[in-house]
């Protein structure tokens, strides 16, 4: 089974920065992409940023210029640097990946970590 372990998050002041990390494990053969989504009550889950195995990045418009995603492919880990945080960035941030394990490609999710932007 693929396991995603997230770390980081917590309470951050408006305008502040925080970094989230996510590590994937479970005899993964290859990673198509890893990234983060976020969810707030009453709203659909939305993509924040993702990075492919070839390090091509995609960002949601609402984080462009503020967030940056990077990866260490060698150990299937990603980092999401979040700068200039706003109260509307408050959400549960979930790590996700599409990867191949034992010849089977699948989608996997972490349990999520809370980010609260408030003074």
* R_g of the chain, CA atoms, integer Å: 14
Q: What is the pLDDT of residue 73?
A: 67
Q: Residue 93's closest CA among 105, 81, 75?
A: 81
Residue reference for tokens 């980010």? 115
For residue 30, what pLDDT is reported?
87
What is the mean pLDDT of each successive set of 10 residues along the chain, which is 119 residues long?
93 97 90 94 95 92 96 83 97 95 92 96
């Amino acid at each position: 089974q693929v396991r995603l372990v997230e770390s980081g998050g917590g309470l951050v002041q408006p305008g502040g920065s925080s970094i989230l990390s996510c590590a994937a494990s479970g005899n993964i053969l290859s990673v198509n992409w890893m990234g983060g989504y976020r969810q707030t009550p009453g709203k659909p889950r939305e993509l924040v940023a993702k990075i492919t195995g070839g390090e091509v990045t995609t960002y949601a418009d609402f984080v462009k210029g503020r967030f940056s995603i990077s990866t260490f492919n060698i150990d299937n880990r990603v980092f999401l640097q979040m700068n200039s945080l706003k109260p509307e960035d408050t959400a549960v941030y979930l790590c996700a990946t599409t990867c191949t394990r034992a010849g089977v490609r699948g989608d996997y999710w972490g349990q999520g970590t809370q980010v609260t932007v408030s003074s």
